[in-house]
């Protein structure tokens, strides 16, 4: 059932992109014939161009198509920014032992590097370089706990060009040097 008259509460949910209303109602934009969930990050439309739907089936029957930005038909979809951050995270984790390049990372994801930097930081709380170093240090910690190889070899295995760079980044990330970490965390 579609409603031409939305409530002030519904309009505020749409205007403020309030995710707590997702699934409670959907809104269609009359000028584009697109249906969205209230948290959609698209530009706000005029209230007179909004029609409210109780469910997506009613919107489809009325001739509306799903928004590709908020994907109201996919409740697990968290948005394009979240998707970009997840793809970035996976690429970093898959190539943590290679030299970091924001230009290369942005190129592989087909996005502007400034946008990638801003979105990744917004979603994860890390810059891509900081996350790359964190992943390297996490891998190094596991190797240090095993105590099988030398610290220099571990630094090289996780992608650092020199032992001094490895030590500096590890200390900044973990809070202690690799040798201090190995002494306190090595498995017996």
List 36, 40, 67, 70, catalytic entry: 36
- Taking the C-alpha atoms of residue 59 and residue 14, their distance in angstroms, rounded to an integer, is 16
- Taking the C-alpha atoms of residue 80 and residue 9, their distance in angstroms, rounded to an integer, is 26
Strand order through the sheet with 50-53: 2-3, 50-53, 26-29, 34-36, 65-66
Region for 57 from its dihedrals, namely left if φ exceeds 0, alpha if ψ lies in -120 to 50, beta otherwise: alpha
* Biggest distance spanned by C-alpha atoms of the chain: 70
Regarding beta strands 50-53 and 2-3, do their DSSP bridges make them parallel or antiparallel, or are they unpaired? Answer: antiparallel
36 is catalytic: yes
Q: Residue 47 CA to chain centroid, in angstroms?
A: 31
Nearest alpha-carbon partner for 117 in 109, 106, 107: 106
Residue 172 corresponds to which tokens in the numbers above? 């900044």
Residues with a catalytic annotation lie at 36
């Amino acid at each position: 059932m579609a409603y031409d008259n939305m409530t002030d509460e519904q309009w505020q949910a749409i205007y403020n992109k309030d995710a707590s209303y997702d699934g409670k109602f959907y809104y269609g934009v009359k000028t584009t014939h697109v249906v969205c969930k209230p948290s959609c990050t698209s530009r706000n439309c005029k209230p007179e161009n909004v029609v409210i739907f109780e469910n997506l089936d009613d919107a489809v029957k009325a001739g509306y198509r799903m928004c590709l930005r908020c994907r109201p038909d996919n409740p697990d979809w968290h948005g394009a920014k979240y998707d970009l951050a997840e793809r970035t995270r996976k690429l970093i984790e898959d190539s943590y032992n290679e030299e970091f390049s924001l230009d290369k990372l942005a190129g592989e994801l087909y996005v502007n590097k400034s946008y990638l930097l801003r979105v990744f930081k917004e979603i994860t709380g890390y810059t891509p370089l900081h996350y790359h170093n964190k992943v390297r240090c996490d891998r190094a910690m596991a190797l240090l706990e095993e105590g099988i190889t030398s610290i220099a070899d571990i630094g090289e295995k996780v992608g650092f060009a020199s032992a001094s760079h490895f030590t500096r980044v590890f200390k900044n990330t973990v809070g202690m040097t690799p040798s201090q970490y190995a002494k306190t965390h090595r498995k017996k």
